[in-house]
């Protein structure tokens, strides 16, 4: 087919525009599996402690759920194959993902002092493998508070040194979440000396402690395994945390992965989490 120079230029311009449009809107055009950011919520934030959390998450429009290992009172139920199967089936039925695994019971029975807690974390590695997730949140609040507790920090480092080779072999990351500063967490990670020990960063917790979260995120480049998004009792985007600046900091360190909503719900979980999600999708272009 013969084509004149004018038509050739027009066709070239249209092709270039299409490429630019595609690049500019790639996050919006991609499916959840290929997006740089995915947005989920914590099982406990959805008001559930069973596989029905996925039904709530689907109603909200989330990409997945961070599930909890369970409590001492139910024997940390996700260690049971039948419970694992129920969660996996719920995720498949709703078309959502199991985003990560949390060890919330460590807030009551802490890793820094209770031998059984170390056994639970060891068990969580095989649970994570069964669920197909790579991140395990190691909670260090309440009875597990580390701030100002040198002995507790030293004990935590010692236990993590024992657990790290198992986590490495299992292909999972143990993400420590606490009220420590970025510098204090970096010290723990460096002392353990394993790529399987990273920081689970919560912008709300760190803001509560008065830390410069935008600076801290940049300091923790390569060490953040996952993030929690909350802001005390505020709706996201209407309080203290500037999530646009959070996005800029995460972009700067090259973070990609899950952001879990653990935010306030003054009206109702579904209604408020839809609002949280809508806001975050705008900020993160997902």
Q: 200: Cβ–Cβ under 8 A, 6 or more apart, which residues?
A: 135, 137, 138, 175, 176, 177, 224, 225, 226, 227, 228
Per-residue tens of pLDDT for the chain, all 286 residues? 444 555 544 444 444 444 433 333 333 333 444 569 999 999 999 999 999 999 999 999 999 999 999 999 999 999 999 999 999 999 999 999 999 999 999 999 999 999 999 999 999 999 999 999 999 999 999 999 999 999 999 999 999 999 999 999 999 999 999 999 999 999 999 999 999 999 999 999 999 999 999 999 999 999 999 999 999 999 999 999 999 999 999 999 999 999 999 999 999 999 999 999 999 999 999 8
Which tokens sit at 233?
């009792």
* DSSP codes of every residue in the chain: ----HHHHHHHHHHHHHHHHHHHHTHHHHS-GGG-SEEEEEETGGGT-SSTTHHHHHHHHT-SEEEEE---GGGT-GGGSHHHHHHHHHHHHHHT-EEEEEEEGGGGTS-TTT-HHHHHHHHHHHHHHHHHT--EEEEE--GGG--TT-HHHHHHHHHHHHHHHHHHHHHT-EEEEESS--HHHHHHHHHHHT-TTEEEEEEHHHHHHTT--HHHHHHHTTTTEEEEEE-BTBSPTTSSS--HHHHHHHHHHHT--EEEEE----SS-HHHHHHHHHHHHHHHHT-
Q: How far apart are CA 178 and CA 57, in angstroms?
A: 26
Give me the pLDDT at residue 25, please.
34
Which tokens sit at 69?
């290992």
C-alpha of 140 from chain center: 16
Q: How far apart are CA 51 and CA 122, in angstroms?
A: 23
Residue 214's CB is within 10 A of a number of other CB atoms, namely 17
């Amino acid at each position: 087919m013969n084509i004149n120079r004018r038509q050739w230029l027009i066709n070239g311009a249209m092709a270039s525009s299409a490429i630019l449009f595609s690049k500019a809107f790639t996050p919006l055009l991609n499916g959840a599996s290929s997006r740089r950011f995915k947005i989920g919520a914590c099982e406990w934030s959805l008001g559930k402690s069973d596989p029905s959390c996925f039904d709530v998450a689907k109603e909200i429009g989330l990409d997945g759920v961070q599930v909890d290992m369970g409590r001492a009172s139910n024997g940390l139920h996700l260690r049971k194959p039948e419970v694992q199967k129920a969660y996996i089936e719920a995720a498949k039925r709703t078309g959502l993902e199991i985003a990560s695994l949390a060890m919330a019971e460590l807030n009551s029975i802490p890793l820094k002092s209770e031998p059984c807690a170390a056994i639970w974390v060891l068990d969580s590695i095989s649970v994570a493998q069964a669920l197909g997730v790579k991140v395990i949140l190691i909670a260090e609040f309440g009875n597990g508070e580390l701030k100002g507790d040198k002995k507790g920090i030293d004990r935590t480092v010692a236990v993590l040194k024992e657990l790290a080779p198992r986590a490495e072999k299992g292909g999972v990351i143990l993400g420590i979440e606490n009220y420590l500063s970025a510098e204090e967490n970096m010290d723990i990670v460096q002392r353990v000396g394993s790529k399987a020990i990273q920081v689970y960063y919560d912008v709300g917790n760190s803001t509560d402690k008065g830390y410069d979260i935008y600076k801290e995120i940049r300091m923790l480049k390569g060490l953040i395994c996952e993030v929690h998004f909350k802001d005390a009792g505020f709706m996201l985007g209407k309080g203290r945390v500037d999530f646009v600046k959070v996005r800029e900091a995460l972009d700067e360190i090259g973070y990609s992965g899950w952001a879990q909503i653990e935010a306030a719900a003054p009206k109702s979980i579904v209604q408020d989490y839809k609002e949280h999600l809508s806001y975050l999708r705008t900020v993160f272009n997902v």
